[in-house]
Amino acid sequence: MNPASSKKFKNPRAQHDFKGRTCSIVSVGSYVPERILRNADLEKMVETTDEWITSRTGIRERRIAADDEFTSDIAAKAASRALTKARLQAEQVDMIVVATITPDMLFPSTACLVQQKIGAHRAAAFDIEAACSGFIYGLEIGQQFIMSRTYDTVLVIGAEKLSAIIDWSDRNTCVLFGDGAGAAILQNRPGSHGLLTACMGADGTKAHLLSMPGGGSRCPATSESVAARMHYLRMDGKETFKNAVNAMYTAAKESLRRCEIDIRHIKCVIPHQANRRIIDAVGERIGAEPEQIFVNLDKYGNTSAASVAIALDEAVQCGRIQKGDLVLLIVFGAGLTWGAAVIEW
């Protein structure tokens, strides 16, 4: 028997909620903007080279949204694709959760704008902010509403227009990020274990490692804050790298432990697509074989909350994930935040 397809695993939630019901991802969808920004293009913008970017990050190109294309637009397109695949109408959605650090505006929520764009007039809607970890946080939130029978259909979206907050004169960060969105439809699917467990964590003492200082109540927009370039993303790359590897490894091991399985039982590992060196280091530490790990970083760069959502959709589309397979998602982001989830597809 192929270990990856074995049903001999534990559902940690079953022993805690006898009246609840399972929650499965019944459909996924994604969208990336048309414009491609290649490493060769960045060579003309900042002091860098294609070889330097590729060798240190694994990124070859990324997608950039049009000037009149916003996070809500990107999110709505991914959501519509997921709904079409699930053969659902927008009116059937009970709740929309959008994970993003690049909302159209501080308020109202991007989720409310998505609700209007797709016509999900019955749905409750709100945003969450957990940076690159947002999609797993959103899945876990959505699952609670399915398990408790509060809602039947939950739409979870990770969406970002990171190009709007990137300092294109900073060669250390502008080469890393791109725009895009991924969406998942959550429902109870009889006979399926669905989302088995999610391990989430945070360490606010390291919030300074990855942040955008300007724009909030601490530093509202002023001519001085704009001149100081405080409304752009800032990152301590070396420390972020070290913390990412440790946190992702710990979360992955804990999620596997809760299900009483090891990495051999996982058919597809989808790590946060931030840096190829991080992906390789995490994969090695958890004992995953190269063929288990799904990577699309080279095409899209780091799309933050959209990262694993886009990768999940692509893995399903290309046949890397089949019904009954076990999937491991692993994420890390600003906050610092991290998480891992085990899913029976």
Q: Which of 11, 243, 296, 302 is catalytic?
A: 302
Look at residue 114 and give its three-state secondary structure: helix
- Helices 276-286 and 50-57: crossing angle, nearest 10°? 20
Domains 3-14+195-344 and 24-187 equal at CATH topology level: yes
Residue 15 has pLDDT above 90, yes or no: no
Is 132 tagged catalytic? yes
Distance in angstroms (rounded) separating the CA atoms of residues 28 and 105 = 26
Residue 333 has pLDDT above 70, yes or no: yes
The predicted pLDDT at position 8 comes to 67
pTM given for the model: 0.94
Distance in angstroms (rounded) separating the CA atoms of residues 261 and 239 = 31
CB under 8 Å to 8, separation ≥6 — which residues?
261
Q: Which of 132, 199, 259, 268 is catalytic?
A: 132
**DSSP string over 195-215:** EEEEEEEE-GGGGGGEE--SS
Distance in angstroms (rounded) separating the CA atoms of residues 268 and 251 = 16
Q: Which of 326, 207, 340 is nearest to 272 (CA)?
A: 340
The predicted pLDDT at position 11 comes to 78
The predicted pLDDT at position 9 comes to 74
Is 112 tagged catalytic? no
pLDDT tens per residue, range 76-123: 999 999 999 999 999 999 999 999 999 999 999 999 999 999 999 999
Mean pLDDT of the chain: 95
Between β-strands 95-99 and 124-128, what pairing exists: parallel, antiparallel or unpaired?
A: parallel
Q: Domain spanning 24-187 has what CATH number?
A: 3.40.47.10
The predicted pLDDT at position 20 comes to 76
CB under 8 Å to 19, separation ≥6 — which residues?
none
The predicted pLDDT at position 18 comes to 45
Q: 204-207 — which CB contacts under 8 Å span 24+ positions?
A: 204/335, 204/336, 206/239, 206/243, 206/336, 207/334, 207/335, 207/336
Residue 5 has pLDDT above 80, yes or no: no
> Positive or negative, the Cα torsion across 93, 99, 100, 103?
positive
Q: Which of 259, 272, 275, 296 is catalytic?
A: 272
Q: Give the CA distances from residue 18 to residues 14, 95, 132, in Å, rounded to whole numbers and listed in that order.
A: 6, 24, 32
249-266 b/e (C-beta count within 10 Å ≥ 16 → b): bebbbebbebbebebebb
Residue 275 has pLDDT above 80, yes or no: yes
Distance in angstroms (rounded) separating the CA atoms of residues 81 and 108 = 24
Residue length, the chain? 345
Q: Domain 3-14+195-344 has what CATH class?
A: alpha beta
pLDDT tens per residue, range 294-306: 999 999 999 999 9
Q: Where do the structural domains in the chain lie, given as residue ranges?
A: 3-14+195-344, 24-187
Is 174 tagged catalytic? no
The predicted pLDDT at position 10 comes to 78
Q: What are φ and ψ of residue 105, in 5° steps?
A: -160, 170
pLDDT tens per residue, range 136-182: 999 999 999 999 999 999 999 999 999 999 999 999 999 999 999 99
For the segment 287-292, the average pLDDT, to the nearest whole number, is: 97
pLDDT tens per residue, range 16-27: 544 679 999 999
For the segment 256-267, the average pLDDT, to the nearest whole number, is: 96
pLDDT tens per residue, range 209-236: 999 999 999 999 999 999 999 999 999 9
Split at pLDDT 50, 70, 90, the class of 12 is confident
The predicted pLDDT at position 13 comes to 67
Torsion on CA atoms 247, 21, 317, 175, rounded to nearest 10: -30
Distance in angstroms (rounded) separating the CA atoms of residues 256 and 314 = 23
The predicted pLDDT at position 222 comes to 95
